[in-house]
Amino acid sequence: MKKVFLAITAVSTAFLLIIPVSVLAFASSLFSNEDSVDIDQPQFSEQTLQYLPWVTEILENSSLSGDYATLILAIVEVRTQGLETDVMDIAHTLYETDFPEDPHPAVSDPYVSIETGIQYLKRLLSLCGVVSMENTSAIALAVQAYNFGSGYIPYAEEHGGHGTSTAGLYYQSHRFETDSYRDVNFSAKVMAYLTPSQDQGYQFPVPGYTDISAGFGWYDPWNTGVQTWHSGLDFPAPTGTPVAAIAGGIVTVAGWDRYFGNYIEIRHSNGNVSLYAHNSKLLADEGETVNQGQEICLVGATGNATGPHCHLELHINGEAVDPRPYLPEG
DSSP 325: G
Q: What is the pLDDT of residue 35?
A: 41
pLDDT band at 320 (very low <50, low <70, confident <90, very high): confident
Order of strands, edge to edge, in the sheet holding 242-244?
Answer: 242-244, 295-298, 281-282
SS3 state at 268: strand
DSSP 209: -
Q: What is the pLDDT of residue 103?
A: 62
Between 14 and 205, residue with greater pLDDT: 205
DSSP 156: H
What is the Cα–Cα distance from 90 to 140, expressed in whole angstroms? 18
Between 197 and 270, residue with greater pLDDT: 270
pLDDT tens digit sequence for 148-165: 888 999 999 998 888 777
Torsion of CA 114, 118, 121, 126, to 10 degrees: 180
Tell me the pLDDT of the chain averaged across its residues.
Answer: 81
Q: What is the pLDDT of residue 153?
A: 93
Fold of 217-326: Glucose Permease (Domain IIA) (2.70.70)
Domain ranges within the chain, ordered by starting residue: 13-194, 217-326
pLDDT tens digit sequence for 224-246: 888 888 999 999 999 999 999 99
* Percent of the chain whose pLDDT exceeds 70: 80
Between 215 and 172, residue with greater pLDDT: 215
Does CATH place domain 13-194 in 1.10.530.10?
yes
pTM value?
A: 0.57
Which residues partner with 273 through β-bridges? 267, 315
pLDDT tens digit sequence for 212-222: 999 999 888 87
